[in-house]
């Protein structure tokens, strides 16, 4: 949110409360749709339809797109059929589909009934693609040219059809069966002579995605090739739509949020926190907590098994949390690093030997440093005997080593067998590392202390 908006917020609220609607309108029309939507959210819900009608038609539609879905729903419910039709006419098909996906069935029905037949057909096509596929985020409003057109004819065609197109910055060239054969940027068109033939100057090395491609892959293409648009083709290489870079930004953000949720052992939700109900949050969190709680039975069993050793040396108990904690942290450092690199496609299963060798060296460095720092602390601060300090430090070094090894290999193997590596971040690794660190601890203790 910009500073300007923060300054405007009280003014807008006070103008609204004093019913100075004309002044309010004069302020709103100078703003960007995203900012208008932000300010309208600050005013009482029931005033929304009134204020929305103050805006000029096109700006109103652009503001509508920027709103949260609950506000859109209020507006649609308040619209007359004619008003709804007007707003829908100004929207791009992909935006309409985004809105439809968030609405209850009766509102969807109204939206479809007020769309013109051609748009309705296009909406239905997009709605049929699986969630998170390129087809589901594409728009069908692109500029299509033919290879035999001259620049002059192409420009005329663009001028005639541009208002309905989501972008004209890149134009696509298809043959008579709508196969994608090339593309060229508006920049190239502008810089070319009127009688140049499109086929002679178009770029024929077209990178496209298939309708069923995962949206994450699409975002990756934008990132890799620095595109602002990417064409979407069906399985016969016929051009069916385009995805614009603003959608790629949304996908990148969404996917990062998903990864972060999974790392924290939460089932991801695509709603913002403030819009998610308590019960939905509970549902996303409780399965993992239960799973982790039950899996910690193993650690309990191990401790019970060594009850006698612990009773003989009660001091050992005090260092169990430190040992398990350090093991868990070391493991998750490795697993999260590897998971992120896998997500960004910087790593692949074939790199596993390289990764393991790197993590082994890091683990030895970390384990030794921790053990060496801990030893004097144990003697001076915790005042344990030197043999117990030795047990703890040796166990610590081994735990870090195993934790990092497990942490880096599990996500890669998960990816190899087709599981989501992100889920390996917390739950499974913590459980395994916890159990292993206890086993190491007691093995070292019984060996060194002879208990």
Cβ at position 268, least distance to a copy of itself in Å: 10
**Closer to a copy of itself by Cβ: residue 114 or 133:** 133
**Closer to a copy of itself by Cβ: residue 112 or 356:** 356
Cβ at position 78, least distance to a copy of itself in Å: 26
Contact 349, 415 (CB under 8 A): yes
Q: Strand order of the sheet with strand 229-233?
A: 209-210, 229-233, 239-244
Gap between the Cα atoms of 364 and 197, Å rounded: 65
Gap between the Cα atoms of 201 and 269, Å rounded: 46
Helices within 192-296 (DSSP H only):
198-201, 215-225, 245-263, 278-295
**Closer to a copy of itself by Cβ: residue 154 or 444:** 154
**Closer to a copy of itself by Cβ: residue 129 or 441:** 441
Cβ at position 118, least distance to a copy of itself in Å: 22
Contact 69, 37 (CB under 8 A): no
**Residue at token pair 């769309």:** 115
Element (H, E) at 403: helix 386-416
Contact 144, 239 (CB under 8 A): yes
Could you tell me the two tokens for 408?
């880096």
**Closer to a copy of itself by Cβ: residue 18 or 345:** 345
Q: What is the sign of the dihedral through the CA atoms of 147, 152, 153 and 156? A: positive
**Closer to a copy of itself by Cβ: residue 179 or 217:** 217
Name the phi and psi angles at 177, rounded to 5: -95, 20
**Closer to a copy of itself by Cβ: residue 77 or 157:** 157
**Closer to a copy of itself by Cβ: residue 150 or 296:** 296
Q: Which residues of 105-116 are buried (b: 16+ CB within 10 A; e: fewer)?
A: eebbebbbebbe
Cβ at position 109, least distance to a copy of itself in Å: 28
Cβ at position 433, least distance to a copy of itself in Å: 11
Q: How many helices (H) and strands (E) does the chain have?
A: 24, 6
Cβ at position 397, least distance to a copy of itself in Å: 12
Gap between the Cα atoms of 429 and 329, Å rounded: 10
Contact 353, 339 (CB under 8 A): no
Cβ at position 172, least distance to a copy of itself in Å: 16
């Amino acid at each position: 949110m910009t500073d300007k908006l923060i300054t405007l917020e009280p003014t807008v609220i006070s103008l609204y409360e004093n019913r100075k609607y004309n002044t309010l309108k004069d302020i709103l029309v100078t703003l960007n749709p995203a900012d208008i939507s932000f300010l309208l959210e600050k005013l009482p819900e029931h005033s929304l339809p009134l204020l929305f009608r103050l805006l000029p038609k096109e700006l109103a539609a652009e503001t509508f797109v920027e709103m949260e879905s609950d506000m859109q729903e209020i507006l649609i419910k308040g619209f007359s059929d004619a008003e709804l039709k007007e707003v829908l006419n100004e929207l791009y098909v992909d935006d309409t589909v985004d809105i439809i996906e968030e609405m209850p069935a009766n509102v969807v029905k109204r939206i479809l009934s007020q769309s013109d037949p051609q748009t309705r057909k296009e909406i239905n096509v997009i709605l049929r693609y699986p969630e998170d596929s390129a087809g589901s985020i594409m728009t069908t409003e692109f500029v299509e040219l033919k290879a035999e057109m001259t620049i002059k004819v192409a420009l005329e065609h663009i001028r005639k059809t541009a208002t309905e197109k989501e972008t004209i910055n890149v134009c696509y060239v298809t043959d008579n069966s709508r196969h994608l054969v090339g593309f060229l940027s508006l920049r190239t068109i502008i810089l070319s002579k009127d009688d140049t033939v499109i086929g002679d100057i178009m770029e024929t090395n077209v990178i496209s995605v298939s309708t069923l491609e995962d949206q994450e892959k699409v975002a990756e293409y934008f990132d890799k090739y620095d595109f602002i648009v990417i064409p979407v083709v069906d399985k016969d290489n016929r051009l069916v739509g385009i995805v614009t870079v603003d959608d790629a930004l949304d996908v990148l953000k969404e996917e990062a949020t998903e990864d972060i949720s999974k790392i924290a052992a939460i089932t991801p939700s695509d709603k913002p926190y403030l819009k998610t109900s308590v019960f939905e949050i509970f549902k996303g969190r409780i399965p993992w907590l239960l799973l982790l709680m039950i899996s910690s039975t193993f650690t309990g069993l191990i401790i019970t098994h060594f009850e006698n050793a612990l009773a003989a040396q009660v001091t050992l108990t005090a260092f169990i949390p430190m040992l398990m904690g350090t093991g868990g942290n070391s493991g998750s450092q490795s697993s999260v690093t590897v998971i992120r690199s896998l997500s960004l496609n910087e790593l692949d299963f074939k790199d596993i030997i390289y990764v393991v060798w790197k993590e082994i060296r890091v683990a030895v460095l970390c384990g030794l440093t921790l053990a060496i720092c801990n030893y004097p602390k144990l003697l001076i601060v915790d005042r344990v005997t030197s043999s117990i300090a030795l047990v703890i430090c040796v166990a610590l070094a081994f735990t870090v080593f195993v934790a990092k090894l497990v942490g880096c290999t599990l996500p890669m193997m998960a990816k190899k067998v087709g599981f989501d590596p992100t889920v390996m971040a917390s739950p499974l690794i913590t459980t395994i590392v916890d159990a292993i660190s206890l086993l190491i601890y007691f093995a070292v203790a019984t060996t060194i202390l002879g208990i």
